Structure 1
Amino acid sequence: MPPNAQAINGQARRSIGERPSLRQATLVLPSGERVKGNVTFGPPSPRDGVFEEQRSPLLGEYAVSPEKQQSSVQRSIQYVKRRGQDTLAFANSRTGRGVFKCSIAYLLGSMATFVPWIYHSLGKSGGKHVVATITVYYHPARSIGSACEALICSMAAWLYVAAVSFSSMGVSILFGKSLDLIVVGHVIVLIVFCGGGLGFVGWVKQRYSHAVVNISCSLAALALITVLTKEGAVQVAQFSVEKVNQELKMVLMGVAFSTITSLLLFPVSACKDLRADMIRMTDLFGDVLAVITRGFLTGSDEELQSQDYADAYANYKKIFASMSKNLKEAKREHYVLGSEKSGWSQLTPRSRTMLESLDETPEVRSIETNDPVEMDFRVLSDDDSNSLPPIRSPSDIFTRFIAQLGPSMVGED
């Protein structure tokens, strides 16, 4: 064999049997441990000392999320579970329970239209759907005190409708049959009872501006319009109680359905809501006082102009309105339960005074100005007050206050 061929075969054997050594490098793991390994551009091997965590991407957003690795069926199941949990949470909330109570009350009110024996018990004339309308007006998603208030206002509205209706019928009969002046009777009914009666309802609605009173006024207006214009007894000078009795039955039935649903299904107590509002009111008022005190001590109004103070004051105004409403409803609950001496009598003298005084708290404004502010300080000596610097900023108020606290260092002559 020629010498050149032997050299070539020897180099081939060395290249096949022997692998040239690569340069080693030192790696520092996140734990602080140093590991030596060969530098290679191929996939790492376990003997190189490279751990599994080093092959994970540095940024987690590039990693494949478990949701993407799941199948479409598993994702659908998880979506249904999340929606079911959200639905269950809404159903257990106060809003969800209120919707459920309103649905039950409307279902009971609709029975006056679709159940034959209830339909016939309300009379021969139409308008039985008003029972369901009343359950919507006096909805059961209210507190016990508000439900009692709704019952009182609805009965007052019916009594007013009965008084105006019977009076208009009496005037029509007097002028139509006794005096034979039916036209004059119609004019009086139109001016006095239609105009005056409905005008008084509108005045009461604007005067009180209360949710339950507004609903009662609307109900009374609808009943008056039906009796005075649609029934026909006033026009022919006859006395009829059929429509008035039907209105009474429908009002009682609708309010009864709403009240029973409100008391039996998830009842809401205004006393508990009042306690919760008082706790939140105290916390917010403490935050407001802390900000005002901090601004006075630092002599700056930056705290009073901050967003936190504005949010706290806005939340305070909202809770005050809710607290005033719950205070009135809690009063009626105590009257119904017969515990007005132990409950409402203790809340009236101080709580209401505190609420009214807090509501009248003036807004704090900056007094920084270029001109001195003349303020009335009652001091022992007018000469000492004149020697003090004028007030141009909140810090000057605090300085003058400290100066007035200290004893006089001027000796007596």
Structure 2
Amino acid sequence: MTKPELLAPAGDLEKLKMAITYGADAVYLGGESFGLRKGAKNFSLEEIDEGIKFAHSRGKKVYVTLNIIPHNEDLVGLEEYVENLYNLQVDGVIVSDPGVFSVIRRTVPNLPIHLSTQTSITNFETIMFWYNLGIKRIVLARELSLNEIKEIIDKAPKDLEIETFVHGSMCISYSGRCLLSNYMTGRDANRGDCAHPCRWKYYLMEEKRPGEYFPVYEDEKGTFIMNSKDLCMIEYIPNLIKTGIKSFKIEGRVKSSYYVATVVRSYRMAIDAYFKDPENYTFNQDWLDEIKKASYRDFTTGFYFGKPTGDDQVYASSSYIRGYDYVGLILDYDEESGIATIEQRNRMFQGDTIEIFGPRRKHFTQIIEKMWDEEGKEIDVAPHPQQIIRMKMVEPVEPWYMIRKNREDGING
């Protein structure tokens, strides 16, 4: 068996560096045009160049999304853009449209092209159609079971790579091909600007009774009738590996750096543990518990073990569950004094209990006994965004370690 690639989202340069530091083999990102995540900060060409250099120096890869379903005006500048990406030595681009595919093959024929899940590929014949055109990696539709994926992989040419999503938000529409956002808000989901109307709360109003709203119930649990749970397959790593999937993809380019680090870290640990000793591998509940310390909806296995049922929806609320806040990033550590330099990300108070974790170690807990600002003045609270503070650590730490603390309410709407 070949160890699968762990592929992480990168919504900006910090998230790219965080994903790779915490164990991703590759990242995917969007540029300022041609991608499907306007909500992410996205990358200028200069930032893509920096990200590629950071990744390649560590033996990792970078893929760029060009997966919009374009109108004529959306194609303007594509040739120049893909030439720039090729010159920056990007490891591949992700496309969904045959026209975009044709432009890339004509302009930079040696640039590897991956086929996006937006193409809704669910069968072997469609795979062979694209393979014969030169595609060497395909991101399958989310609507396939493990058995269907295995059948495709068993039939496919050995040099064709299959990639599937293993974690993250699920779209209510088939492979993300949704028109609701465009119809209701004028924001085109297939051009990167989805308003997520599937997460809204709906009521029924009769035409001749304006202002009289009746709740729409899927059942007695609530009214969020299209709100899917999040995909999470970390408990089934052996099943995914034995199927022959080449790349395990995590969704979340608009999620936080903390989310990316936390999720990537757990999947990295699970994959490495399996390959260290496949015969004696057992799932470690800590991996899932750690993921739950980032924001999430309740989890589902999607279509992997059969079609979703009512249990795969969240009817009561569209809010994320968020039990922890990301409060600080370790920038530096002095071994002699045991004092860390920290960039604040959320308020911290003297007396708070915090958890510190890094990419290659279990978290540890300590109480904030003292903090100092940049001038060395002792402070009892760090209230300012990205404020630089110093704090004594009870155990050694390294740059890129993260600090979190438990929230009292546990829910963030």
Would you call these one fold, judging by a TM-score over 0.5?
no
With normalisation by structure 1, the TM-score equals 0.20
With normalisation by structure 2, the TM-score equals 0.20
Return the index of the structure with the highest Cα Rg: 1
- Greater share of residues in strand: 2
